Structure 1
Amino acid sequence: MSKRILFLSFLSIFALSFSRKTETIKIKAIKVQTPFNMPAVKYPDFTGVKRFSIVDFGAVLGDKIKNSKAIAAAIDQANRENGGIVVVPEGQWLTGKIQLKSNVNLHLNRGAVLLFSEDPNDYLPAVHSSWEGMECYNYAPLIYAYQCKNIAITGEGEVKAKMEIWKTWFARPKAHMESIKRLYNLAAAYSPIEDRQMVNDTAHLRPQFIQFNRCENVLLEGITITNSPFWTIHPYLSKNVVIRKLKVYAHGHNNDGVDPEMSENVLIEDCVFDQGDDAIAIKSGRNPEGWRLKTPSKNIVIRNCLVKNGHQLVAIGSELSGGIENVLVENCEVNDGAKLNHLIFIKTNERMGGYVRNIYAKNINAGKIDLGILGIETNVLYQWKDLVPTVEVRLTPISNIVLDNVKAREVKFISRILGEKTLPVKNVSLKNVSAEKVTESEDIHQNVVAFTSKK
């Protein structure tokens, strides 16, 4: 063979190899118009990257064999190749915990169901997580990502939690209360996280369904989420999170839809929430945890969402010791049959400290609300009131709350604001906020400075 032919053959092989090369992960950004200064929200784009079917790694259809190892192997391979889409085909696939890695998109095809085991042992060993605003080692979230960058969960399929065991943990017997009391005291003493081991026979601290822990550039799009042991979606100490076009149904205890905690640059849009607790609850750590980590939740936009059920459209707190600022809620709707307490509820207590400022809500419609449109309360302690004493008093400054064009069919009140005498709530503005029927009083206020209301 001549040198010319050899050279041309080499060029052909090189060209074919180059043509088969997969794309690298791109980073896109969404610029959102807000009344505060907010950078564009970044998220990963996996268009054109290599795909890895879990079947090729040994996954088996059905509800008998757990596919945890096969899914983990596919994730490992995608991560090793610096980016890939792990594909879950149509059908039901039983699994235990799934741990994502950087540059990986877990993609569920239409008709695919990832069915998560109810066996707590499938979520061990314990991982660095949190419980109600306090860091600890606990059961792994059903889908967990820790210190990852450029990750996604996408598709038209479903992730579903089996609840046979978890639902028996909804109760809070004495042993459980003693465990969370121990965790509270460990946090108050600034104990190392490694010393806060909360997995035992009686603590029963349920794991979150999906937790992005200390992650950056996260996309969660298109899937259906059914049931959850605890909080459903938990972006924790994360930056640049896009959550869109989800259908979330979870009616167990503490089943919030999304809980952004100590996270920034978060966009939640075009989602449907049907919850047993708050649709969205923004948090930033409990007591010393928020003071220690010093990371507020900020630059959070919630738009074009529908709430079919839930305690609040948006709750802020009560875990807010790191501070919460720059939140916009717009163009959302709440079904008339929803069991809603408030549209916007800001809650704190004398132990939290932190701050709340620059909260905006506009263009929201709701049916009957059990309580009212806006609630602000500064003495919300729930089970903690008698469980543990106040270690240190830190009040929460609350200011710059703006509602515009918010309507409901029936409420007990338009606004109820219960501030502290020594630290009143400041600068609350309601414009075109109304209900067709108010059964008690439009405004119930204590210790509020600079409140305005214009119809």
Structure 2
Amino acid sequence: MTRHLPSRRQALLAGLALAAAGCAPLPRAGTASASSRQLPQERVRAAAPFPMPDISVPDFSASRRFPITDFGAAQGDQQKTSAAIAQAIAAAHAAGSGVVVVPEGVWPTAKIHLKSNVNLHVAKGATLLFSERPDDYLPAVMTTWEGLECYNYSPLVYAYGCDNVAITGEGTLKAKLDVWKVWYARPKPHMDALVALYHLAAKRVPVEQRQMAVGQANLRPQFVQFNRCRNVLVEDVSIVDSPFWVLHPYLSRDVVIRRVKVRAHGHNNDGVDPEMSQNVLVEDCVFDQGDDAISVKSGRDQDAWRLNVPSRNIIMRNCRVKNGHQLMAIGSELSGGVENVFVDNCHFDNAGSGARSTINNILFVKTNERRGGYVKNIHVSNVSATRIAGGVLSVETDVLYQWRDLVPTYERRLTPIEGLHVSNVKVDEAAFVCRIQGEAEMPVKDVSLRGVTVAKVLEAPVSTVNVQGFVHAA
């Protein structure tokens, strides 16, 4: 596939954005930036049924600490605290590396923009309480909405083009939902804005002309987005509530998310959305979601075909899901391709969630005739669940939701799906074991279920349409 190189103006704007963020441009494949060479790295190994490279994340153990109180942060004063956090991040970055410390207490803040070689450390007993005012997330930044690039409200925590960034500590990041929960309703002006963005992307209008933080577009920002970053660590923190997706590594590489607790029951509140990202490990986390626990994505339609970057080498292990739509979803924004995904030793139990179980499937692959891309080499093993509304494996190739009638198909591209392998799964109750609806023109290939046990099945256990090479063994 041909790559669409950025225009001179796009390259200039991207360079200015990187400079403003205090981040280095991403190095070419196979090279390391100066910043990644200077800061010590932790090498994380994760076994997988495919060649999985070691993941490099920053080690801040010897870095200087920058308490936000040294820069004038004051509990109860959002303006002072926001300014102090920004100044502490700038100072840590200028020093070569640093740990920005949020001490015990409740600290109201607006947006936080990270810089290279900076660790935002939220100490035990500390809460960063993020403003509910959309104006606090302006000016607009280069970001995404459901797989389409645009300029929109800044994610609450945002890193663009950075190396060696981290969010750590046993404290809490919490979003006030006063306005965002009103925006959950997605009224007509919002849907009109999404339709407009869809057409802009399909016609390959330059991203800087896709300004969405205007009028009543009401495109909610992600909570945490690492956009075009390398060497990313999120560790030990709790994240409560979110305007949109919670943790979004986008076009990023070498990402570890470990021992993180997420509780967010709003609309589109996925836990982790690795998108066009590679070498990602999510381990020892607890998810209590209003949407998917993890949803692997790789962009939508023409935008993803332009970027042409697959999501690859993604592992979810030793995680507990209290609630959510799917334990692992793939798509439907998968136009850049998804390969080498491994889910191991994860468990769904709904215990202590405080919400009625809404989980549908253990593994759900969804796409449609507009996506293209591909899905291959997906593995799920050693998973247990109590009662689920769907099944262990579900594949749907005609998922368009409201978009079926809202916008036309500019270009029809089907999604090749092959190599889905599920083993050693135990479920107390499910509607079915496996349901696959493939395309007659492009059947799903090479699917295996081994050692999958569902104690109580409410419907036909297995239903497959347009599948080649299906194995279901005890």
Q: Same fold (TM over 0.5)?
A: yes
Q: Aligned equivalents of 1:363 and 1:256: distance in 2?
A: 22
Query: Helix, strand or coil for the counterpart of 1:67?
Result: helix
1:388 aligns with 2:423: no
Residue 312 of structure 1 and its aligned partner are, at CA, apart by 0.2
Decide which of 152, 157, 160 is 1:143's aligned counterpart: 157
Q: Aligned equivalents of 1:423 and 1:434: distance in 2?
A: 29
Q: Confirm or deny: 8 A CA contact 1:284 1:290 kept in the other structure.
A: yes
Q: Tell me, which stretches of 5 or more residues in structure 1 are unaligned?
A: 1-23
Q: Aligned equivalents of 1:271 and 1:442: distance in 2?
A: 31
Number of corresponding residues:
433
Identical positions, percent? 59
Amino acid at match of 2:69: V
Query: Helix, strand or coil for the counterpart of 1:105?
Result: strand
Q: Confirm or deny: 8 A CA contact 2:247 2:272 kept in the other structure.
A: yes
Quote the residue 1:155 is aligned against. 169
Moved over 6 A (4+): none
Q: Aligned equivalents of 2:402 and 2:93: distance in 1?
A: 43
Q: 1:336 to 1:222 in 2, by over 3 A?
A: closer
1:438 aligns with 2:457: yes
Decide which of 89, 94, 112 is 2:126's aligned counterpart: 112
Q: Confirm or deny: 8 A CA contact 2:72 2:80 kept in the other structure.
A: no
Decide which of 360, 370, 382 is 1:341's aligned counterpart: 360
Q: Aligned equivalents of 1:226 and 1:262: distance in 2?
A: 25
1:180 aligns with 2:155: no
Q: Aligned equivalents of 2:46 and 2:173: distance in 1?
A: 29
Q: Aligned equivalents of 1:336 and 1:200: distance in 2?
A: 39
Decide which of 378, 392, 415 is 2:397's aligned counterpart: 378
User: 1:182-227: CA deviations, max 9, x gaps?
Assistant: 0000000111001000011210000000000000000000000000
Query: Helix, strand or coil for the counterpart of 1:217?
Result: strand
User: 1:124-172: CA deviations, max 9, x gaps?
Assistant: 0000000000000000000000000001000010000000011000012
Amino acid at match of 2:381: K
Q: Confirm or deny: 8 A CA contact 1:66 1:94 kept in the other structure.
A: no
Quote the residue 2:240 is aligned against. 226
Residue 37 of structure 1 and its aligned partner are, at CA, apart by 1.1
Q: Confirm or deny: 8 A CA contact 2:169 2:237 kept in the other structure.
A: yes
Q: Confirm or deny: 8 A CA contact 1:208 1:233 kept in the other structure.
A: yes
Decide which of 438, 441, 445 is 1:426's aligned counterpart: 445
Q: 1:274 to 1:382 in 2, by over 3 A?
A: same
Q: Aligned equivalents of 2:323 and 2:48: distance in 1?
A: 27
Quote the residue 2:26 is aligned against. none
Q: Aligned equivalents of 1:291 and 1:232: distance in 2?
A: 25
Alignment of 1:110-259 (within 5 A): 110-259=124-273
Q: Confirm or deny: 8 A CA contact 2:147 2:300 kept in the other structure.
A: yes
Q: Confirm or deny: 8 A CA contact 1:318 1:347 kept in the other structure.
A: yes
Quote the residue 1:359 is aligned against. 378
Query: Helix, strand or coil for the counterpart of 2:433?
Result: strand
Residue 64 of structure 1 and its aligned partner are, at CA, apart by 5.7
Q: Aligned equivalents of 2:312 and 2:67: distance in 1?
A: 37
Q: Confirm or deny: 8 A CA contact 2:376 2:420 kept in the other structure.
A: yes
Q: Confirm or deny: 8 A CA contact 1:142 1:208 kept in the other structure.
A: yes
- Tell me how large the CA RMSD over aligned residues is: 1.1
Normalised by the size of structure 1, how large is the TM-score? 0.94
Normalised by the size of structure 2, how large is the TM-score? 0.90
Query: Helix, strand or coil for the counterpart of 1:321?
Result: coil
Amino acid at match of 2:230: E
Query: Helix, strand or coil for the counterpart of 1:33?
Result: coil
1:401 aligns with 2:420: yes
User: 1:327-355: CA deviations, max 9, x gaps?
Assistant: 00000000156321101000000000000
Query: Helix, strand or coil for the counterpart of 1:72?
Result: helix
1:299 aligns with 2:299: no
